[in-house]
Amino acid sequence: MDHLHIRLANGMQLVFKQVPATEIAHAGLVINAGSRDEAAQEWGLAHFFEHMLFKGTRKRKAYHVISRLDAVGGELNAYTTRERTCLHASFRQVHASRALELLADIYFEASFPERELNREREVVLEEIRMYADEHDESILDDFEEALFAGHPLGRPILGTEDSLQSFTRQSLLDFKAKHYHAANTVLSYVGPMSWKHFERRLLPMFNRPVDGKIQARSPVPAYVPFHKKLEKPSNTAYMVLGNRAFAATDERRLGMLVLNNLLGGESMNSRLNMSIRERNGLVYGIESNYAPYSDTGIFYIYFSTDARKLPRVQQLVQAELQKLQKGIGGMQLHLAKQQFISRLLMAEENRSGLMLALGHSLHDHGRVEPLADIIARVEALTANDLVDLAQQVFAPDQLSSFVYLPR
């Protein structure tokens, strides 16, 4: 059995994968709600809600939530994205009951005590202030805000200082009632436990009735390319160049992932890194990224450089984009696919990441695609497939830019 996927009586989905020959297990809850799902007056609430999940339940104070797994060497964490919130744990299998009971307690019984609200608000406010000073981070928020102008996808996940000050305990309870229900949640487990044992001992903790209706998301507005500049107190120029791209459900998504990896992904031999950093020494760092959402996607190139070198870097970036729109050699295509497949296989070995990826896949596709099928689809990609994608996404008249210039 590669994995098991079932829907519980309460509507929650479960994906279970047994991995033998290890003592470590990973479990998590992937909730299909993020900053995109906030109402206009809730800017930053999804992230603040995630923070407050750890601040107490009906039977545990904040200290007991935090120390429950920590006391036995386990890890408990959470994060918020634009479309998801994930609550997850890693632990020795002998502590599985302790870990799963804690996840269930937080998910079903989080109490958001009044005494913790202002304390945690200050934590997030400091996070916002620190983030604003990190130009390499804030420019990406500015780019996405312009890319999805007037739409929740363009809002910074942290919210603003003003919006955060408006949140009350009732705000959290309302957000929970609206989004944290079984039909909107996937429970994911990767570890050595047998399905028979998991089903009998742990699954009943999550099969509690939590009614709710999946909320429709507002469609993204039409895309209009833009070019914006801001002056910042810095000695460095920062730039983001990008476009809308393909949704998570789009068949072109896999090809776009391979194309992005070839252009400026994680590897040191990406075309952007080799051309602009290694050969010419013009940037402190350069990368490209492609992030698919449920109904759209984003592609961007990010770099920082000395302001005097900015025109030359832009010229070289455009040259690399134009090359990919004209053709890709057979050997380069082969190596790009092999590199991407190797990264897929190595990612499979990261069991915590795999556990979360299984949960995301159920939300995105309603199923988990076997790794062998994904690899076969990568192998089937042709040079023309990638060139077609490059011509769609890298077309000069469709690219937008955001630049921070030194003040």
Residue 219 is assigned to a structural domain of this protein? no
Do residues 233 and 355 both lie within one domain? yes
- Please compute, for residue 216, the number of CA atoms within 13 A of its CA located in the half-sphere on the CB side: 3
Tell me the pLDDT band of 203, cut-offs 50, 70 and 90: very high
E-assigned strand segments in 139-226: 185-191
Q: In the predicted model, is pLDDT for residue 284 greater than 90?
A: no
| CA gap 98, 109 in Å, rounded | 16
Residue 354 is assigned to a structural domain of this protein? yes
| CA gap 183, 12 in Å, rounded | 5
Question: Which structural domain range is residue 57 located in?
Answer: 4-206
Tell me the pLDDT band of 1, cut-offs 50, 70 and 90: low
Q: Provide the whole-model pTM.
A: 0.95
Q: In the predicted model, is pLDDT for residue 282 greater than 80?
A: yes
Do residues 318 and 388 both lie within one domain? yes
Query: Pairing between strand 227-232 and 400-406?
Result: parallel
Do residues 9 and 144 both lie within one domain? yes
DSSP 8-state code for residue 330: H
Two tokens, residue 406:
């030194």
Higher pLDDT, 233 or 211: 233
Model pLDDT, residue 198: 97
Degrees to nearest 5, angle at CA 247 with 244 and 253 = 100
Three-state DSSP state, 82: coil
User: How would you list the strands of the sheet with 24-31, edge to edge?
Assistant: 4-7, 13-18, 185-191, 24-31, 85-92, 75-80
Residue 152 is assigned to a structural domain of this protein? yes
Neighbours of 322 (CB within 10 A): 12
Residue with tokens 């994968």: 17
Percent of the chain with pLDDT strictly greater than 90: 93
Tell me the pLDDT band of 173, cut-offs 50, 70 and 90: very high
Residue 251 is assigned to a structural domain of this protein? yes
Average pLDDT over residues 1-25: 94
Q: Tens of pLDDT along 269-279? A: 899 999 999 99
Query: Pairing between strand 237-245 and 297-305?
Result: antiparallel
| CA gap 407, 67 in Å, rounded | 47
165: left (phi over 0), alpha (psi -120 to 50) or beta: alpha
Q: Tens of pLDDT along 343-353? A: 999 999 999 99
Do residues 179 and 251 both lie within one domain? no
Model pLDDT, residue 285: 85
Do residues 233 and 197 both lie within one domain? no
Do residues 250 and 360 both lie within one domain? yes
Tell me the pLDDT band of 133, cut-offs 50, 70 and 90: confident
Q: Tens of pLDDT along 162-172? A: 999 999 999 99
Three-state DSSP state, 407: coil
Do residues 178 and 251 both lie within one domain? no
The last residue of a domain, from among 206, 240, 260: 206
- Please compute, for residue 146, the number of CA atoms within 13 A of its CA located in the half-sphere on the CB side: 22
Q: Tens of pLDDT along 327-342? A: 999 999 999 999 999 9
Neighbours of 161 (CB within 10 A): 14
User: How would you list the strands of the sheet with 297-305, edge to edge?
Assistant: 227-232, 400-406, 237-245, 297-305, 285-292
- One DSSP character per residue, 235-285 reads SSEEEEEEEEE--TT-TTHHHHHHHHHHHHSSSTT-HHIIIIIITT---SE
Three-state DSSP state, 228: strand
Model pLDDT, residue 167: 96
- The residue among 371, 364, 359, 363 whose CA lies nearest residue 15 is 359
The last residue of a domain, from among 136, 171, 206: 206
The last residue of a domain, from among 174, 206, 238: 206
Degrees to nearest 5, angle at CA 377 with 358 and 336 = 100
Do residues 231 and 196 both lie within one domain? no
CA distances from 226 to 127, 142, 144, 146, 148 (A): 29, 12, 11, 8, 11
Average pLDDT over residues 106-110: 97
Model pLDDT, residue 267: 81
- The residue among 149, 128, 143 whose CA lies nearest residue 404 is 143
| CA gap 269, 57 in Å, rounded | 49
CATH number, domain of 187, equals 3.30.830.10
Do residues 300 and 333 both lie within one domain? yes
Q: Tens of pLDDT along 182-202? A: 999 999 999 999 999 999 999
- The residue among 214, 208, 258, 274 whose CA lies nearest residue 388 is 258
Residue 240 is assigned to a structural domain of this protein? yes
Model pLDDT, residue 79: 98
- The residue among 167, 52, 46 whose CA lies nearest residue 109 is 52
Average pLDDT, the chain: 95
Do residues 69 and 98 both lie within one domain? yes
Residue 377 is assigned to a structural domain of this protein? yes
- One DSSP character per residue, 357-403 reads HHHHHHHHHSS---HHHHHHHHHT--HHHHHHHHHHHS-GGG-EEEE
Q: In the predicted model, is pLDDT for residue 113 greater than 80?
A: yes
Two tokens, residue 225:
């390319």
| CA gap 241, 394 in Å, rounded | 10
Do residues 246 and 318 both lie within one domain? yes
Residue 156 is assigned to a structural domain of this protein? yes
Q: In the predicted model, is pLDDT for residue 305 greater than 90?
A: yes
Do residues 283 and 150 both lie within one domain? no
Domain count for the chain, please give it: 2
Beta bridge partners of 195: none
Residue 165 is assigned to a structural domain of this protein? yes
Average pLDDT over residues 10-35: 97
